[in-house]
Amino acid sequence: MSGGSEKILVIDDETRMCDSLYELFSNSGYDVTTTKSSTNAINQIKKNKYDLIITDIKMPEYSGLDILKTAKDVDPETIVILMTGYASLESSLEAIKNGAFEYLLKPVEFSQLEISVKRGLEIRQANIERKRLYDDLKMSNLNLNNRLQEINALYEAGRSLAHTIELNDLLRKIVKLAAGVTQAEIASLMLINPGSEYLTIESSIGLDPKLPGTVRLPIGSSIAGYVAKSGSPLIIKNVEKDKRFKRINKERYSSASLLCVPLKVSNRVLGVINMANKKDGQVFNKHDLKLLTTFASQAAVAIDDARQFEDNLRKLNEFSVLFELSRKLSSVGSVSAMRNAVFEYMKKLMPIDFALWFEWQPVSNNLKPVGATGTKIPLTDSGSINLELIKSDEVILEDMDLDKLDIDDIKAFSTRLREKISECPAYPKPGPNFTALPVIQEGVLKHIFCIGSGNEHPYTKQEVSLARLVISQASGLYEREKALLNATRLLTMGNMISEISHDLRKPLTNIKGWIQILGEKWPQVVEDTKFYGMVEEEIHRLNELVTELVDFSKPHKYETEIRDIRTIIRRAAEFVGPELRKKHIKFEEYYEDAEYEIALNRNQILEVFLNLFLNAIDALDENGSLKVMGKISRPSFKNADYLAIIISDTGHGIKKDNLAKIFDRYYTTKDTGTGLGLVVVERIIAAHGGTLEVKSEFGEGTDFIIYFPI
């Protein structure tokens, strides 16, 4: 017989028996210990684990039955064999009752004892294996039950999330369910703000209530930022020992174990879920991470659906507001009413406390305030914005060139303009929630529309884009309505002017005829007085004025032909030649290499140059200079090349205050002027698809630049 490494304890008060049994079982390969003291035996049993115990029943101090009870208390699976030289029914029943394996009479046959030991150890091993299998089965059942509970929790969580549409309610529910699934005491959900590189806490459990909505964590920074950037879940058993993420705010967590899982939809990361402080101080394991990852995939889909639902509602509201605004604008009767309507309807789409309208003056590069709506900022100020005070305080942009303003990226311009406005006491004090929006009409910058509020958070790109859409549509619609109304008014006024001018010609003709008759009857009177000449001159001037009014009132439809514009310029120069020579004005022409044959109406373009030449001659002193240059150039407010004809004089120039008015109807600085000459010039050039630009310094001369489309 060969034994294993099982441990056997032999207890007998006879030295010979202890030695014999030691020799017997040691030779069989067992680990044998012997003792003659029952007290020592009990102490050994309590300290050490024995597979089998052989003991005599009758012992000093403690009996074999006492040893049996102690062994079974320590390990119920221990095999105990009792030996006795004084057998009795009572002791045998007591032995069986307390779990003895064998009850042998002395003298014991060693062969029988060996068989009993072998059988006992086999039974012990079988019992241990059976108990292990039972424990494994019990643990498996427990794990299975836990998994079923987790699956049920995930199922119920999925159902709950699927029935939650409102985003904020959904986020709170996700955090609560995630903390329950992972048994975490601290949980937070962070989302990536659309169009930004930051994570913000949207909902949390166990954190300071002030943190949600205020924390802005750059993507790639810290644990949450790392997970948001990589898109991979992360488990950290001890963040204090992790060199990548050794935390700063140690007081926030009592546990060093953390979980962070991305919220992903179609490989697009929406945000992250963070778990910390597992209950009972336990450490998060891989199963917790897997469970949270599974839950996060459901949560991400629910968040994406809720966002899309809210986005659709927002767009529906935007379309509704835009539709109502378009209806409103079709009935407004003034620019002020249009601005107020835009302000009121935009307040329904985003936080706005005030709006400012500026008219861009390209000549002086200033912003002229023409409209203001809303309340003063900061909100502690009382009353509305005083437009009259603002109108007297132009915004000077000497260090900014709006001609080159990139309207696709106006962030820098908005920041600079905010600084400029802050320097003007009459204006509201714009905070970070401020933006400037360019108003483009026919490819030319016309106005700057500014909006702002007392909100601490800047406008999002989406809000800025929406505001630009609203203002451009509103401005365009109003301009079309105004243009149609102006066209109707101008047509009516033109017809009236034409009729009145026609009626004036007859009495003027009659007066002119009677003056001629008077001159023929009394030639001496004509020669002796200045009266006749003055009357004749004034009649001629009135006739020219009527002709100019008739020409202005006619809606010309020009018939054009391809001609070299230089020949028309030279013809106009011939007409004004006597005036040039009279004042000794030097006339020069310079033409760069370009194509000067363009589509034009000869008579109308001739009138343009005659008007401009005569204006220049009036502004020039003796021995002045009038120069004409031609080249290919691009207007500062256009995005295409034109044929530029530049008429430069060294005359008196135009005052800055008058420069913006020279194309106004009936505006003139001449004692005998009608104020229609430059208006006619502008109209003719516009009818040819061109544009005008004026540059002048008072006392230094003037440049009129005419741009013809190539």
Is the peptide bond prior to 233 cis by the omega test (within 30 degrees of 0)?
Answer: no
Q: Confidence class of residue 314 from pLDDT cuts 50, 70 and 90?
A: confident
Summarize the confidence of residues 256-267 as an average pLDDT: 84
567 and 609 assigned to the same domain: yes
Domain with residue 61: its CATH number is: 3.40.50.2300
- In the listed set 277, 311, 345, which residue is the last one of a domain according to the structure? 311
The per-residue pLDDT for 471 is: 77
516 within some domain: no
610 and 699 assigned to the same domain: yes
Question: 378: Cβ–Cβ under 8 A, 6 or more apart, which residues?
Answer: 429, 431, 454
Q: How many domains does the chain have?
A: 4
Q: Confidence class of residue 520 from pLDDT cuts 50, 70 and 90?
A: confident
Distance of CA 610 to the CA centre of its chain: 56
- Residue with more model confidence, 686 or 528: 686
262 and 369 assigned to the same domain: no
191 and 293 assigned to the same domain: yes
Is it the case that residue 565 has pLDDT exceeding 50?
yes
490 within some domain: no
615 within some domain: yes
* Contact yes or no for 245/236 (Cβ under 8 A): yes
Structure tokens of 66?
Answer: 């006492």
What's the mean per-residue pLDDT of the chain?
77
566 and 705 assigned to the same domain: yes
377 and 439 assigned to the same domain: yes
Bridging pattern class, strands 7-11 and 52-56: parallel
Distance of CA 323 to the CA centre of its chain: 25
The per-residue pLDDT for 379 is: 47
The per-residue pLDDT for 607 is: 83
Q: Confidence class of residue 702 from pLDDT cuts 50, 70 and 90?
A: confident
Is it the case that residue 380 has pLDDT exceeding 50?
no
Identify the top-confidence range among 113-127, 360-374, 479-493. Answer: 113-127
316 within some domain: no
The per-residue pLDDT for 566 is: 92
The per-residue pLDDT for 146 is: 59
Decide: helix, strand or coil at residue 269. Answer: strand
- In the listed set 459, 477, 500, which residue is the last one of a domain according to the structure? 459
107 and 223 assigned to the same domain: no
Cα distance between residue 233 and residue 285, in whole Å: 13
Please write the tens of the pLDDT for every residue from 611-665. Answer: 888 888 888 888 888 999 999 988 876 778 899 999 999 888 777 666 655 655 4
409 and 374 assigned to the same domain: yes
77 and 186 assigned to the same domain: no
Q: Confidence class of residue 100 from pLDDT cuts 50, 70 and 90?
A: confident
Range of the domain at 81: 7-131
323 within some domain: no
677 within some domain: yes
- In the listed set 459, 481, 512, which residue is the last one of a domain according to the structure? 459
190 within some domain: yes
The per-residue pLDDT for 629 is: 93
Domain with residue 630: its CATH number is: 3.30.565.10
Q: Confidence class of residue 550 from pLDDT cuts 50, 70 and 90?
A: low
- Residue with more model confidence, 346 or 569: 569
The per-residue pLDDT for 452 is: 83
Look at the block and give the residue holding tokens 């006795």: 84
- Residue with more model confidence, 144 or 634: 634
The per-residue pLDDT for 99 is: 87
284 within some domain: yes
341 and 437 assigned to the same domain: yes
361 and 396 assigned to the same domain: yes
Domain with residue 414: its CATH number is: 3.30.450.40
